[in-house]
Structure 1
């Protein structure tokens, strides 16, 4: 079930602060996470859209998903035997990733990013069915939607057709942009390719607070790495990936790496367990050995780092990684 704007409109009218409180309570109870103000702005924005705005979102091929289903009804429960924390969770999603938007080709989806296990630090996205890593350049859900809109606008600029449908789509997207920039990103006057070059495809700066991981998102940690990994965005991604996949294919080398991560964690530094766990999670590709090692290392690291919500999510995901569908909520309450 995906939330559409009409549902948000009714909740805004009848639920008000009480509705928001129920959503916040649900996520704190089940995920151990504090939702950011930006996701409530996103929900309110969806609820404010008229039919033209809704059609514009359809033009972008995106729709609310994952956690947004609980914004429509915080009391929904998962199907029997399934942990609610895997709702909207794709096979490669790190525990820090909480899906709120789906759309586009090759399984593109966006999620809130909680790398300290409590507070949201921004938005992440990646193509679940394609190559490439996780992009963490967007700060808020609406900023992510703006980036998608401007990519589509760029494509319309390249469209050689001059027919009524192209004109109508451009008109709808312009109105959607006006509505969005009245809430966020209004300080960015660029559109289309100029916007993408300025904010969407610019090289991300090195982040000294995070350490390189195979998934491209980096991990929040301050300890040491067995590989002396550079800071996030500071590695040669191709060389790093080549090395890590070769290591994972070597049973002896992998065993030694896991033992080193365990040893360091037992000695009080869970950083290597976190890094190697994230890498194995991303590169599991259905391999039960990699899946099990990833789960062990991640749960151990998150607990040592006092990130219990992420530890519980990692464990829940491990139990349910073979689910054929990511939607696990019942559409009505029992």
Structure 2
């Protein structure tokens, strides 16, 4: 059995598991990425791992041999697996990166929908979350290869002597391009695949908001972030967000709660939890509300490696 056949065979079981545990839909192209990784020739694997520092991680671990037999350690919730302390609830890790806690994840605007695109975050740096708009992990890797090639042009090839070449990895990506496209076609286009046209959240990807959700006041994000340095100045901002949430307009609560989450200050943890969970539930995004509550209750874990062998 080829790796692609094997991962396609595993996909329904992994998808059912993710839907049951996370309340999220899994795209078929994740199985293609798992097959791509499992079948990499040595040269391509060296470039991907040694040169680019990329590897499957997070929910992609479920596709590995025995992946669905793993359990969460120490009685923790599986949804904490590979979730860094400032990751937004919409971000679910699927691949690790090469430095400063870089990790890649699917971005779920709405649990009822497929992920909109691949996002990324440097957890041990400033921990903002951004996206190139890549629809699949294989496309994200292509973007990473293109960036690495530009580095060679700028720095000069003498700075990269002895490093694995790009060509074997590019050939492997080409070999799986048709399967990646077929998986996307089978799922259909994500509802909110275009990363533009969202409110500018300043420290993360702006959320998609339905009509009637209120005004997120995106243009005021910088001023709000400054105000959080002083709890007295932050109090009216938080109170306004609470009031609008209570009035059925969750947009500002979602923005303010997300900013406080990213700020990661103990004095705002309760407010962040309440605003985010309340806003997600008001939007019908209960799975994201649950992730927030579980995350905030376990935010000080020393390691985000949660799934272990039985």
Root-mean-square deviation (CA, aligned residues, Å) is 2.5
SS of equivalent to 1:165: coil
TM-superposition CA deviations, 1:265-298 (whole Å, max 9, x none): 11111111111111111112xx212222111111
- Structure-2 residue corresponding to 1:297: 275
Task: Note if contact 1:214-1:282 (Cα within 8 Å) is conserved in structure 2.
Answer: no
- Structure-2 residue corresponding to 1:207: 196
Match among 235, 238, 261 for residue 281 of structure 1: 261
- 2:213 is the alignment partner of 1:218: no
- Structure-1 residue corresponding to 2:15: 24
- 2:113 is the alignment partner of 1:116: no
- Structure-1 residue corresponding to 2:85: 91
Alpha-carbon deviation of 1:162? Answer: 8.6
Change (3 A) 1:255 1:164: closer
Change (3 A) 1:182 1:253: same
Alpha-carbon deviation of 1:133? Answer: 3.0
- Structure-2 residue corresponding to 1:195: none
Change (3 A) 1:163 1:42: closer
Number of matched residues? 288
Match among 111, 120, 124 for residue 129 of structure 1: 124
Change (3 A) 1:146 1:257: same
TM-superposition CA deviations, 1:154-176 (whole Å, max 9, x none): 2333334299625xx22xx1121
The within-5 A match list for 1:80-229 is 80-118=74-112, 119-131=114-126, 133-137=128-132, 138-157=134-153, 158-161=155-158, 165-166=162-163, 169-170=164-165, 173-184=166-177, 207-208=196-197, 210-222=198-210, 223-225=213-215, 227=217, 229=218
- 2:249 is the alignment partner of 1:269: yes
Counterpart CA distance in 2 for 1:112 and 1:162 is 33
Counterpart CA distance in 2 for 1:127 and 1:90 is 10
Change (3 A) 1:46 1:127: same
TM-score scaled by structure 2? 0.85
Task: Note if contact 2:59-2:93 (Cα within 8 Å) is conserved in structure 1.
Answer: yes
Task: Note if contact 2:3-2:35 (Cα within 8 Å) is conserved in structure 1.
Answer: no
TM-score scaled by structure 1? 0.79
Alpha-carbon deviation of 1:240? Answer: 4.2
Q: Which runs of 5+ in 1 are unaligned?
A: 1-8, 187-204, 231-238
SS of equivalent to 1:99: strand
Counterpart CA distance in 2 for 1:245 and 1:78 is 35
- Structure-2 residue corresponding to 1:57: 48
Change (3 A) 1:27 1:132: closer
Task: Note if contact 1:66-1:88 (Cα within 8 Å) is conserved in structure 2.
Answer: yes
